[in-house]
């Protein structure tokens, strides 16, 4: 009948921690190829349920330690409050070594993770391909068939005798040509473009057998200007420990739009502990990583697009 504004007040702000440690160093990730990636920790605080960004936690002390007593300190980026990086081109997680993340907030709250180690070795990353598919979408109050492709990965046979917990993330780039650039100009305005908001999701899987293809997502080909020239996607495959896998799986389930069938809110599992006795959101994961770059051209399709 009339607009109703609600406000849920978060009377007890809690820390949110986003942190993962990999078995690939900055120099290793540049060989994917990519621009390289330092290990990072993002700290923020929960807020009231309003349309505002979460509050960054600056001036914290963030230290990574191992069971041999070695320490590595993360530094906060001056251009990104609450974002801390470990600037070491060669450092990476090592098999058989346990690691812990220790954080001290500006108000002297002490937070520590459990000891975590790399999961057991797994089969090498399989090839990336795609298949032509269609999906249905409502356009102008009518159901329309949308043509596209579904990238996938071929999983090697799992001979470990145990489940392997996978996660795949995607970093797309594509050729962009300025529409109003002169075709006679020697300086044609062409570049590779990217954005963190396209294909920002991830895929998780608990595998016991292998030997099949796992689909990633559907990508429209008829109205997708990103594939008009050339499209490239860095696929990062991570092998997780069981508890970290279930944290990522539950996080994904909570973010799925399911209408009345949506997963209700609940507290996610965490391996962080606070000296203040407060709940901490997040999970410190130590994972194995491989990556392959997939290239796609519209000429790879069995039909033409323009």
CB 86 within 8 A of CB 64: yes
Element holding 70 (H helix, E strand): none
As given in the structure block, the two tokens for residue 212 are 């099949």
pLDDT score at 185 = 60
- Residue of 159, 166, 170 lying closest to 205 (CA atoms): 166
Pick the closest to residue 89 from 26, 31, 21 (CA basis): 26
Write down the H helix ranges in the chain: 26-30, 242-255
**Which residues fall within 8 angstroms of residue 206, CB to CB, at 6 or more apart?**
163, 164, 165, 166, 245
Per-residue pLDDT 10s for the chain (306 aa) are 777 665 555 557 789 999 999 999 999 999 999 999 999 999 999 876 555 567 899 999 999 999 999 999 999 999 999 999 999 999 999 999 999 999 999 999 999 999 999 999 999 999 999 999 999 888 778 888 899 999 999 999 999 999 999 999 999 999 988 877 666 664 667 888 998 888 888 999 999 999 999 999 999 998 899 998 899 999 999 999 999 999 999 999 887 765 555 555 557 899 999 998 888 999 999 999 999 999 999 999 999 887
Q: Which of 155, 151, 160, 165 is nearest to 126 (CA)?
A: 155
Distance in angstroms between the alpha carbons of the first and the last residue of the chain: 47
Q: E strands along the chain, which residues? A: 15-22, 39-45, 55-56, 61-66, 71-76, 83-86, 99-104, 110-113, 128-139, 142-154, 164-177, 190-193, 202-207, 213-215, 219-220, 231-240, 272-274, 281-296
Say what the pLDDT of residue 260 is. Answer: 52
Query: Pairing relation of β-strands 99-104 and 83-86?
Result: unpaired
Please, what's the b/e burial string for 68-100 (b: 16 or more CB within 10 A of its CB; e: otherwise)? Answer: eeeebebebeeeeebbbbbeeeebbbeeeeebb
Counting Cα atoms < 13 Å in the Cβ hemisphere of 52 gives: 11
Query: Percent helix, strand, coil in the chain (nearest 5)?
Result: 10, 40, 50
DSSP 270: -
Express each pLDDT in 151-164 by its tens digit. Answer: 999 999 999 999 99
The closest of 77, 78, 94 to 86, measured between CA atoms, is 77
Report CA-CA distances (Å) from 54 to 10, 48, 173, 233, 278: 12, 9, 28, 29, 18
- What is the rounded distance in angstroms from the CA atom of residue 138 to the CA atom of residue 117? 47
Which pLDDT tens digit goes with each residue over 215-253? 999 999 988 999 988 999 999 999 999 999 999 999 998
pTM: 0.89
Strand partners, 303: none
What DSSP character marks residue 182?
-
């Amino acid at each position: 009948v009339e607009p109703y504004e609600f406000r849920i007040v978060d009377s007890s702000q809690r820390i949110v921690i986003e942190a993962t440690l990999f078995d690939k160093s900055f120099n290793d990730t540049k060989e994917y190829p990519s621009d390289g990636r330092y290990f990072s920790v993002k700290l923020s605080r929960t807020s009231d349920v309003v349309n505002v960004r979460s509050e960054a936690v600056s001036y914290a002390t963030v230290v990574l330690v191992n069971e041999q007593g070695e320490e590595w300190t993360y530094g906060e980026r001056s251009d990104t409050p609450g974002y801390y990086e470990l600037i070491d081109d060669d450092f990476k997680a090592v098999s058989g070594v346990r690691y812990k993340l220790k954080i001290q907030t500006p108000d002297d709250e002490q937070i520590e993770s459990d000891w975590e180690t790399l999961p057991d070795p797994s089969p090498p990353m399989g090839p990336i391909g795609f298949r032509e598919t269609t999906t249905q979408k409502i356009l102008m109050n009518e159901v329309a068939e949308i043509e596209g492709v579904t990238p996938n990965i071929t999983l090697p046979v799992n001979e470990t005798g145990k489940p392997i917990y996978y996660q795949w993330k995607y970093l797309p780039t594509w050729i962009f040509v300025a529409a109003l650039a002169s075709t006679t100009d020697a300086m044609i305005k062409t570049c590779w473009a990217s954005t963190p908001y396209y294909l920002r999701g991830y895929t998780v899987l608990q595998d016991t057998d292998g030997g099949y293809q796992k689909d990633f997502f559907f990508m429209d080909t008829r109205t997708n200007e990103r594939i008009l020239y050339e499209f490239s996607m860095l696929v990062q495959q991570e092998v997780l420990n069981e508890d970290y896998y279930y944290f990522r799986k539950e996080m994904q389930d909570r973010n799925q739009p399911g209408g009345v069938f949506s997963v209700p809110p609940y507290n996610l599992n965490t391996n962080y502990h606070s000296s203040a006795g407060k709940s901490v959101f997040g999970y410190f994961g130590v994972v194995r990583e491989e990556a392959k770059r997939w290239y796609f051209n519209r000429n790879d399709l069995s039909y033409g697009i323009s």
